Every structure is written in C-alpha cells, then in structure tokens.
Amino acid sequence: MSEAKTGQDRLFDALTTKGTAFTHAERRKHGILGLLPTAEKTLEQQVEHSWAEFCTRREGLDQHIYLRALQDRNETLFYRLLREHIAETMPVVYTPTVGEACQRFSEIYRKPRGLFVSYTDRELLREVLGNRPKSRREVDVIVVTDGQRILGLGDQGIGGMGIPIGKLSLYTLIGGIDPARTLPIVLDVGTDNVELLEDPQYLGWRHRRIGDDEYYAFIDEFVTAVHEELPDVLLQWEDFATAHAQPILDRYRDTLLTFNDDIQGTAAVALGALHGAANVVGRPLKDQQIVMLGAGSAGIGVLNMVLREMVSQGISEAEALSRIWVVDVAGLLTDDRTDLSEGQRKFAQPAGRLGGWGLSSAAQLTDVVHNVDVGVLLGLSTAAGAFSENIVRELASKTERPIIFPLSNPTSRAEAHPAELDEWTGGRALIATGSPFAPLRRDGVERQIAQCNNAYIFPAMGLAVTAAQATRVTDDMMRAAATALGDLSPALVDPNSPLLPAWTDVPEVAVRIAHAVALQAVSEGVAPQRSAEQLEERITQVRWTPDYPPA
C-alpha cells in the first residue's frame, strides 16, 4: 500500500485521493481545507457524476482519453466507475478502442504512466527501474511490450505503451491486483513503421528496430535488471512479434515468474470456450477435426494447449496431431514445406495425406474444409472475411452444431462477423469472437456473443500467483484456468446462451479461476503448501477493491 500522505501530496496523488469525498474533518486534518469545493460527495455520487460526463463523449477514443484522465486523477473512482459499468467500459479501456489509442499515442499523450525503457539507456537500466514512482516501489505485476505487433495493427513503436496500461487496468478491475503494485513498461527499441519515423509528433526513439543480436542482448539485460530489482514480480510479455515471442518465453519461463499472454493467455481462453462448446455439442475435443487459420505465435499457442487437452482425454499425441489442420498465408502446413518454424512444423500434416484431394497447388482453407470432416474452425490470422460463406456453409453441412471462432482482433480484422455465421449456419453455429460484437437477433430473441478476450484469464492468473506466492507459471496452471472457465460456461445450462460468462460476472469468475490455478500451483510444487481453504482466504486477503478508506 502507498505510504501515509498528508496535505496536497495526499490530495493530488491518484492512489490516495478522495477528491470531493474528503469530509470537512479530513480536509482540516490533512491541511486541504479550501482546496476543494464545499460539497462533500460520496463515492457513489462521484461515480454518477463521472458516468454522466463519460456519456457525453460519443467517440470511443474521446471516451478512452476521458477514462485515462480520470485514472490519472483518482484511481479509486476510476476503478469503481469501471466496475459499475464493466460491460460498457471494457471495450473502451481495452479492445477495440485501445488499438486506436496506440496508433495515436503520441498525439493524445498527457501524463507519464509506467516506464519507457529505451535502448539508448541500456547502460542505465537499474537507474530507470529505480526511478519508478515511490508509490509503486513494491510491484506484483509488470506488463511489458516492445510495440512491434500491437493487436492486428502491426508495429506501433512506443505507442504500444497503451497495451500494458490497458492490461494492468484489467488486472486491477477483474483480478483485484492493487493498482499501486502494477507497473506498465514499453521497451523502446526503435520502430520500422515509416509513418511514425516521419511523424514530427512521434515520442519514441527515431531509429529503425535494432537487429536480433542487439535485441536479445537488450532483453537479457532488461530481465536481469527486473529480477535484481523486483525478484518476485510476475512479468507478462505482451504483443511481441511472432519471431521474438516464443524464443523469449522459452528462454525465461523456467527461471522466472513469467508468461506470454498472446501465446498462453489466448490459448487458455480459447480452450476454455472450446471446452464449453464441446460439452454443449456432446463431442469431446479428442473426437473433433480442428482447423486453425493462422500459424503465428498466438495460433500455435492455442493449438499446443488444445493438443495437450486432447491427449489428456485419452488419445496419443500422434493421433491428436492427425486431427489438427493448420493453414497460413501459403496454405496448409505440410511436412514437405521448408518455410516452417519448429513450432509450426510440429503441426504439419504428412503431404501424402493429400494424395486423393486432386490439387494442383498448395491446399487452402477451402480445400481442407471440403476434404476433412471438420467440426471446429478457429481463426487467428487477422485476415478479414477469410471465413467465407461457401466455406462456412460447407462446414455446417457436415455437423449439427459447428464450432466457429473468428478470434482475430481488432474487429476490422475478424475472419467473419457473428451475424454472417449465424445466417450461413441457420443459427446452429456455436460462436466466440476475439473482439466485441453486437448481440444477434434470431426468432425475436437477442443472443449475446461470447468474446474470447484474454481478460477472462490473465487477471485471474495475476490474482492466483500473488495469493499463492507462486514462483512459476506452468502450462498445467494455464490448463487449469481454461478448464475452470469452460466449466462456468452459461451454454452448459442453456444452449442458446453464450459460451463464456457475462462481463458483469467476470470479477467473481476470476476468483473461481484463481482458486483453481492456485491449487494447481501448489500441487506442482511451484507455490508454498496450502490447503484449498487457506488459498481461498489468501485470495480474499490480497484482493484490492475500489473503496475509499473510512473517514
């Protein structure tokens, strides 16, 4: 918690202020009498006022700027407002609006938040980390990006800082991580975005991205400095390029409390939704033929977790791999291709399996759906409209309840829109998306669409490792999170309900997931021995809530 403050320091510190909620006695006690209007508001009245002001902003970016300014002014009020209006504010604080905020970061920059770790300061990393605000000396969670692959928008350079800020807001809102114990970081290693380099307003280092040798050395120096300065912190990697994401995760996952949300968080929430969908269909994943469009780090991460789940259901790894089909921009991944990474090659189908398909060129998504008894179609390709009407209708002709997840974001990059999928399948598709979409209307009934947002997973993971005092984030901890999420699917009770819980329920869902993850951490020996009851108590103890301390 922040150290005790008095006077104007207390009034103007976003972590300790109550603003107009300071009572007359408190204003005298802290030497701030006369610095505020006479009226004494309750937190509830402040929320009502702030919500009315928020609603005067019609554009998403204007709403985003307003919320960020509120966070800079009064974090308790900010988080209470978000909690009271979680469904309306989630898309503004994070996807899809955060994408535009990253693109225009230099233009809308107002006030410092987090750390800007520049390659030009590589000899001074301990000094940079040591300069974090005094109110954030003890840190539970760091989210770090280098801005190279922001959502589906590509290289945003230093503008990528919008992602760690947004992610950590959700760590607090959903997971209950004390905002004073969070730290967003952007690694400024240059940018290859020519528009940014030529933009006079750009606030980052005006330099092309450094080469891999310098890059990995810098990452190593950064990790070393973080580990020395904050040895117990959870370090989350976010929106790194595919070529860097997996090597970084592989290098540090066994020595640090760390994970990559794009690889592991995306995989866990997708598996959670698939778990619920498979139970609705009555056909377990091990018996499904699964197609993934997209072979980047996120897509391969999802498939690795799906593979482990299929094996846990009783089939061999070889048999599970035979049921997974991956298509990238060049076509189906097959073992005769020479352009595959190690992670991609694992999912390459034997070229001989296509012998009877009558192809004259590389197999595409259309060919796979035509020749395979596909029941699950996933997309992490950022190829807008790639799930065409012909493809979806053929898929729907092969199964009673097709499972179709266009998971790319932002919304403009989705492989298909839910309304299209609903129409082309006659309302039979089980749908989850990567970005928020409006509800569907069929037969006069409104149906919500599940959004496979990583916010179902990473805040719960932060709460779990903080409460359990875990030293590692393991694959089985991620699978435990996915299983717990899938078991909470509303569609298990009503097949017409969404595959994932409503946003209003997500903070409590996070507690359930965190408990399952903490139990898994203890069972694997990466957290101190505690009973289920003790872990439940720990979760309650460490969870921060947006309330003012009593007068």
**Active-site residue list:** 94, 167
- Estimate to the nearest angstrom the gap between the alpha carbon of 246 and the chain centroid: 16
Whether 165 contacts 115, CB under 8 Å: no
Contact 320, 286 (CB under 8 A): yes
Helices 506-523 and 458-468 pack at an angle, to 10 degrees, of 50
d(CA 460, CA 516): 10
**Token digits of residue 295:** 């072979």
Sequence-distant (≥ 6) Cβ neighbours of residue 375 within 8 angstroms: 281, 283, 288, 289, 290, 398, 399, 402, 403
443 and 415 Cβ atoms separated by less than 8 Å? no
Q: Any idea which residue has 């009783």 for tokens?
A: 314
Cα–Cα distance for residue pair 27/21, rounded to 1 Å:
10
Residues in contact with 129: Cβ distance below 8 Å, sequence separation at least 6, in sequence order: 115, 117, 225, 226, 229, 230
The runs of H, that is alpha helices, within 488-551 are 506-523, 532-542
Distance from the Cα of residue 234 to its chain's centroid: 15
Q: Which residue is listed with tokens 């403050």?
A: 5
Look up tokens 């991460």; give the residue.
301
Cα 63 to Cα 53: distance, rounded to the nearest angstrom = 9
SS3 (DSSP) at 73 = helix
Structural tokens at position 197: 């380099």
Quote the CA–CA distance of 156 and 145 in Å, as a whole number: 11
Report which of 126, 334, 341 is spatially closest to residue 241, judged by C-alpha positions.
341
How buried is 26 (Cβ within 10 angstroms: 0-12 exposed, 13-18 middle, 19+ buried)?
middle
Tokens of 305: 């977790």
Residue 4: Cβ within 10 Å count: 8
Which amino acid, one-letter code, is at 207?
Answer: H
